[in-house]
Chain A
Amino acid sequence: MKWSSLTRRLGLAVVAFVLVAACGGTSSSATATCNPSTATSVTDCGGLDALIAAAKKEGKLNIMATPPDWANYGTIINAFQTKYGIKITSANPNGASQDEIDAVKNLAGTGSAPDTLDIGLKYALANTALLAPYKVATWSDIPAPQKEATGLWWYSYGGFMGIGYDPSKVPGGTINSLADLLGSGFKSKVALSGDPLKSNQAVNGVLMASLANGGSVDDVSKGVDFFSKLNKAGNYVPVVGTPATVKSGQTSVLFEWDYLSSSHGKDVQGWKIFEPSNAILGSYYTQAINKDAPHPAAARLWEEYLFSDEGQNYWLKGGARPVRQAAMEKSGKLDAAAAAALPKVSGTPVFPTADQQTAAGTYISANWAKAVG
């Protein structure tokens, strides 16, 4: 019994070894025509067709922290797999930026390290040594302050902080100002979509409340005061809002990025998003390629795909505002219906810098427990 299973395992090991050896052979022949791991643009790699061919030979792509219901990633991943026949492994979908950076470091040299990164700007800035410079074909459409000059990182998609809500659960079916939330009709309904001691999104939610209450991106204290009042009124719920808590009605009013909030429409009939005109707080996520990507060609092809008109419109359909939105609107390539479906925003958007967010996070850590304990 033991011997037979041992020989079976040995047999499998031999087969696996032969397969691995065979794969190693093909990928080394691909690098002869194009060296994807050092290519800084698609022309470096002999054009898109050569890149596609090299990526198909790799046959796989590892991405991380991209949940299917986040900015339409589910659809994008499927579309990419169908179009190029490259299998995408989407690891730890609910992970954080730091998890991605940790994975790049800890899994370095293995076949399961993430190929591309979808991270907060702060993490890109702090880890440029891990990133490979690359400029997608549509590079010139991305405004200069939203990309690193040599191509180490560039903005991908983003949105504005909004207050999503179930109209059937709020008085009058509508929210017109942040002060409304302090009313008695909002008892135990208002939540943040993260822990403000840990999550950037939650920090930005508090920051938005601060803007709406006379604070600024440099002064989050008014936001903490607002949540303190909300808590005293019995309206604040210390539960991280997720699709599950929204669906069950535990968090009928939720501070969240608008592109994430819009996905609750499928669970809650008539879900609406309110964006106060005096507090338009915006933020973009950053894309980057792992310098030691196990599938360098597929990584670059994935970026080309995300920043093609098709990829950008997919993000838009998921309620995220793609970085090429303005340029595509000009060229007429933008999905007009999807753009019209975005929550209406009036006012001048503010984009807090990484330093301002860290300062806000530090203030919140020291004062949150006192405010809503």
Chain B
Amino acid sequence: MAPFFVYVGLFLLLPTAIIVAGSFAATDGTFTLSNLTAINQAYMITSFVNSLTISVASALVGAIAGALLAYAVATGNPRGAIRRIVTSASGVLAQFGGVTLAFAFIATLGTVGFVTVFLKDHGFDIFANGVWLYKLTGLTLIYTYFQIPLMVLVFLPALDGIRPQWREATESLGGNTWHYWRYVAGPLLAPSFLGCTLLLFANAFSAYATAAALITQGGIIIPLEIQSLFTSDTGQSQPGLAKALALAMIVIVTIVMTLYTLLQRRTSRWLK
């Protein structure tokens, strides 16, 4: 147990403590609440709304598409090639976020990306109404590229817990497909599905590198806003406010992860 607590202490509790302390410290080290009240500015709130929007959107898209894919895999041959390919590909792609993913999009769908140029040469300009790739739409699209594989990985065990016998039991008792999903599989899978969606939300909410590599100007989401507050060359450097923003993010993620844990507990009662 001791090594575990040392590890958690060094890499989780200590950084959190530094952020909490920094949120309440003025530049001269005295206690202040001004960092927290400074969050209440129109552009900060916009960034928070943007961050929440992109996290909710990419989590929903990721959860639904990922769940369908996972269901297809779960109902297939458990030792088949498809299952092995999909799970190992998901394992890799779920970690594919960051600079590599951003670059992949810049090279294909960027303003001079080859897909963009190819379509343009054939009379179709995907950026006719502006370069949406660098906006929330683009970020949401890119985030689904690591959200869907993550959903497959975390949702597959729940689907595997559903036994074929339950379906047979439903049918022998006179139920149809609708009854099976409404009264058996649906209630069993719902907590897990919601929990996984929350996990995806937290995953997108805290993602930084992909957005930072793609959008090098302006801070449309909170992690980018924090970055500019730390490294500004133009006299806008406000480490205290950056830490206060980080604290606000920690609070949101803590709430989400608590709900996730509660839902997981409920799921594990049935699906062992």
Contacts and interface: CB of A to CB of B under 8 A. Distances in A.
A239 B134 contact: yes
B234 A237 contact: no
B170 interface: no
Which of A96, A192, A250, A365 gathers most chain B CB within 10 Å? Answer: A365
A362 interface: yes
Contacts of A188: 111, 127, 130-131
A198 B233 contact: yes
Contacts, number: 113
Contact of B217 (A98, A120, A187, A202): A202
Interface of B: 41-43, 46-47, 50, 106, 110-112, 125, 127-131, 134-135, 215-220, 228, 231-237
B41 A366 contact: yes
A220 to B, nearest CB: 11
B234 A187 contact: no
Contacts of B217: 191-192, 194-197, 202, 238-240
Nearest to A237: B131
A69 B231 CA distance: 23
A370 interface: yes
Contacts of A231: 130
Contacts of A133: none
A195 B216 contact: yes
A197 B47 contact: no
Which of B106, B217, B220, B232 gathers most chain A CB within 10 Å? Answer: B217
Interface string A182-221: 0000011101101111111011000000000000000000
B41 A234 contact: no
Contacts of B43: 365-370
A357 interface: yes
The interface residues of chain B, by DSSP majority, are classed as loop
9 contacts: A97-B233, A195-B216, A196-B234, A202-B217, A234-B129, A364-B234, A369-B47, A369-B218, A373-B50
Contacts of A240: 216-217
A94 interface: no
Contact of A234 (B127, B218, B219): B127
A236 B236 CA distance: 23
Given A202-B217, A239-B217, 9 more contacts: A97-B233, A192-B217, A197-B219, A198-B234, A200-B233, A237-B131, A250-B110, A250-B112, A364-B234
Contacts of A239: 134, 215-217
Contacts of B231: 96, 98, 198
A193 B236 CA distance: 18
A204 to B, nearest CB: 10
Nearest to B235: A358
Which of A122, A191, A195, A249 gathers most chain B CB within 10 Å? Answer: A195
Given A248-B112, A250-B111, A370-B42, A198 B127 contact: no
Contacts of B235: 122, 357-358, 361-362
Interface of A: 96-98, 120, 122, 187-189, 191-192, 194-200, 202-203, 231-234, 236-240, 248-250, 357-358, 361-362, 364-370, 372-373
A238 B234 contact: no
A362 B236 contact: yes
Pick the 9 closest A-B CB pairs, nearest first: A234-B130, A361-B234, A240-B216, A197-B228, A358-B235, A238-B217, A369-B43, A188-B131, A198-B232
Contacts of B232: 197-198, 361, 365
Contacts of B127: 187-188, 234
B56 to A, nearest CB: 18
A69 B218 CA distance: 25
A367 B47 CA distance: 12
A199 B216 contact: no
Contacts of B233: 96-98, 120, 198-200
Given A198-B228, A367-B43, A238 B216 contact: yes
A174 B100 CA distance: 36
Contacts of B135: 373
B234 A358 contact: yes
Contacts of B42: 366, 370
Contacts of A249: 111-112
A15 to B, nearest CB: 38
A198 B127 CA distance: 27
Which of B42, B110, B111, B129 gathers most chain A CB within 10 Å? Answer: B111
A199 B227 CA distance: 13
A289 B43 CA distance: 40
Contacts of A195: 216-218, 228
Contacts of A198: 228, 231-234, 236
B204 to A, nearest CB: 18
Nearest to A194: B217
A97 B215 CA distance: 23
A369 B228 contact: no
Contacts of B215: 238-239
Contacts of A237: 111, 131, 134
A193 to B, nearest CB: 10
Nearest to B41: A366
A238 B218 contact: yes
Nearest to B43: A369
B140 to A, nearest CB: 15
A357 B127 CA distance: 34
A11 B215 CA distance: 51
B216 A369 contact: no
A49 to B, nearest CB: 40
A368 B236 CA distance: 13
A158 B128 CA distance: 38
Nearest to A189: B111
A271 B9 CA distance: 55
A196 B236 CA distance: 10
